[in-house]
Amino acid sequence: MMEMKEIAAGFSALAQETRLELMRVLASRGPSGMPAGELAGELGVSPSSLSYHLAALEQARLVQSSRQGRYVIYAVRFAGLRALFGFLTETCCNGRPELCGDLARLFPEEFDEVSPMAAAFNVLFICTRNSARSIMAEAILDRIGRGKFHAYSAGSSPADAPMPEVIERLTMMGHDVSTLRSKSWNEFMKSDAPRMDFVLTLCDTGDGEVCPDLGERPITAVWPFPDPARFRGSDIERTTLLNELYGMIRRRLEGFTNLPFGTLDRMALKARLDELGKPTMYAR
C-alpha cells in the first residue's frame, strides 16, 4: 500500500496541465503505450520538456517505461493511479466504498502493479476485397499472437462480407469468427483509429492487384498470396487449396511472431519482413 507521502507526491505530479494531457494520451493507448517521439509529437512539446514531465510521473510511479529495440515505450501505470484514487475512496461512506458508486472501480484490476510492460504491436493486413487472405491472417494472428499482437484487416475495395468458405474453414480450425468483417482501409485513416506498427499487404501483385499505401509510419512488407476467389475445380479441390493457403499464412505469421523484436532496429525488421514474404521460403 502506498504511504501518505507517496500519495501526496502522486497528486502533486498530476497537478500540471502538460502532465495531465500526457496521462490522458497514454491512457488512450492502454498497456501497449507509445514511443517517446510519437508522444512528443502528439502533445506538441519538445523532447527535453517531455523527458522532464515523464521523469516526474515515473518518479511518482504513475508511468512506466520499457525498451523495444531503439525505442523507449511509455505507458500509464494503472496500478499507481488506482492506488491514488483508492486512497480517496477507502474511507468512503463510513467504510463502505461500494456506496461511492463507480468511483472506487475506475481502474481495471488486471494490470499487475509490479510486472514490466509487455510489448503489444498493432498489425494491419490488407488485400483488395478483405474477404479471404487478410481475414485469415487476422484470425490466425489473433490466436498465435498471445496478446503480444493486435490484428486488424481491411481492403482497398472491400466485399460486402468475408467469403463463406473462408469463415467455414476458420470455424472448423477453432477460430473465433464473431468479429470478422470486410471493411475499407479508410477506417484506419481516421483520427481515432488505432495506430499501426506493421502493415502487411497480402495482394498477389503478379495478378495486377493494387493495394493502398498507408504512409511511412508503420513498417510495411508485401506478402503475396493467391486469391481464393480465383480458385477453380471441384469442392474437394477448392477445400484443399484453402487448406494450403491457411497453412502458408500461418507458417509465415509464426515466423513473424518469433522475430527478436527487442534486438532489431527498424531497417532490420523491414529486411526480415521482406525475407519472410519471399514465396521460396515456403515452397513445397
Question: pLDDT tens-digit profile of 97-121?
Answer: 455 555 444 444 444 433 444 457 8
Answer with the residue of higher pLDDT: 137 or 217: 137
Pick the range with the lowest mean pLDDT from 82-86, 132-136, 255-259.
Answer: 82-86
* Percent of the chain whose pLDDT exceeds 90: 31
Give the Cα separation of 100 and 47 in Å (integer). 40
Answer whether residue 32 shows pLDDT above 50. Answer: yes
Give the Cα separation of 192 and 69 in Å (integer). 27
C-alpha cell at 69: 529495440
Segment 156-169 mean pLDDT: 93
C-alpha cell at 109: 484490476
Q: Which uninterrupted H or E stretch holds 154? A: strand 149-155
Answer with the residue of higher pLDDT: 181 or 146: 181
Do the Cβ atoms of 134 and 207 come closer than 8 Å?
no
CATH number of 121-282: 3.40.50.2300
Nearest to 193 by CA among 150, 142, 131: 150
**What class has domain 4-105?**
mainly alpha
Q: In 10 A of CB 152, how many CB atoms?
A: 22
Domain ranges of the chain: 4-105, 121-282
The pLDDT value recorded for residue 107 is 46
Residue type, 166: V
C-alpha cell at 25: 494520451
Answer whether residue 198 shows pLDDT above 90. Answer: yes
pTM reported for the whole predicted model: 0.58
CB within 8 Å of 181: residues ≥ 6 apart: 161, 162
**Phi/psi at 118 (nearest 5 deg)?**
-95, 140
In angstroms, the Cα distances linking 107 to 102, 111, 217 are: 10, 9, 31
